[in-house]
Amino acid sequence: METLEVKAGIDDILKKYPDAERDKLILILQEVQEAVGYISKEAIIRISEHLRLPASKIYGVATFYNQFRLSPIGKYHIQLCRGTACHVKGSKAVLDKILQYLKIDAGKTTRDGLFSVETVACIGACGLAPVIAINGKFYAKVTPDSVIKIIEELQKGV
């Protein structure tokens, strides 16, 4: 269920593209995500009506590009750097451990709404590799074990 503000936000974006066709779909999805934080079912329906395209097509595009989120971010949003320096220092193992522990895929949010995980390109802190950011706070030189301790601490603080 979306708030009136969210609906108005989506409508405002669509109004900017009165005669838009399929070629504007990515742009519209990007703007909606920036304004609302994710691509909701309601947004997909409204975009599909506006562009006169089947909702299944909009959904297909939104799921194809991993820049789009289909659920709201969690209370704790974990961004894991997959840049080269972090990769060389083991970011993949850290990512795998986080996803396994939280039982979600990258780009998803836990059922309780507490955690969401996103992989990002270099966040400019290569000297701290491998690095994650949680709600914008950086954690340096994380390991598969240390990252679980960080998550557990956040869970305890709930």
List of residues contacting ligand FES (CB under 6 A)? 81, 83-86, 122-126, 129, 131
Distance CA 96, CA 91 (A): 9
**Nearest residue by C-beta to ligand FES?**
83
Q: How far is residue 71's CA from residue 109's CA, in Å, rounded to a whole number?
A: 7
User: Least distance (Å) from ligand FES to the CB of residue 90?
Assistant: 11
CB of 102 to ligand FES, least distance (A): 21
Min separation Cβ 152 and ligand FES, Å: 23
Nearest to 98 by CA among 116, 124, 74, 121: 116
Nearer to ligand FES among residue 2 and residue 118 (C-beta): 118
Tell me the sheet residues that pair with 118: 79
CA distances from 43 to 12, 17, 26, 34, 66 (A): 12, 15, 13, 13, 17
Tell me whether residue 52 or residue 137 sits nearer to ligand FES (CB atom).
Answer: 137
Nearer to ligand FES, 123 or 150 (CB): 123
DSSP 77: E
The dihedral built from the CA positions of residue 81, 82, 88 and 92, taken in this order, carries a sign that is positive
When the beta carbons of 30 and 119 are compared against ligand FES, the nearer one is 119
**Rounded least distance, CB 86 to ligand FES, Å:** 3
64, 67, 71, 76 alpha-carbon torsion, rounded to 10°: 140
For residues 54 and 124, which CB has a smaller minimum distance to ligand FES in the complex? 124
The distance of closest approach from Cβ of residue 118 to ligand FES in the complex, given in angstroms and rounded to an integer, is: 14
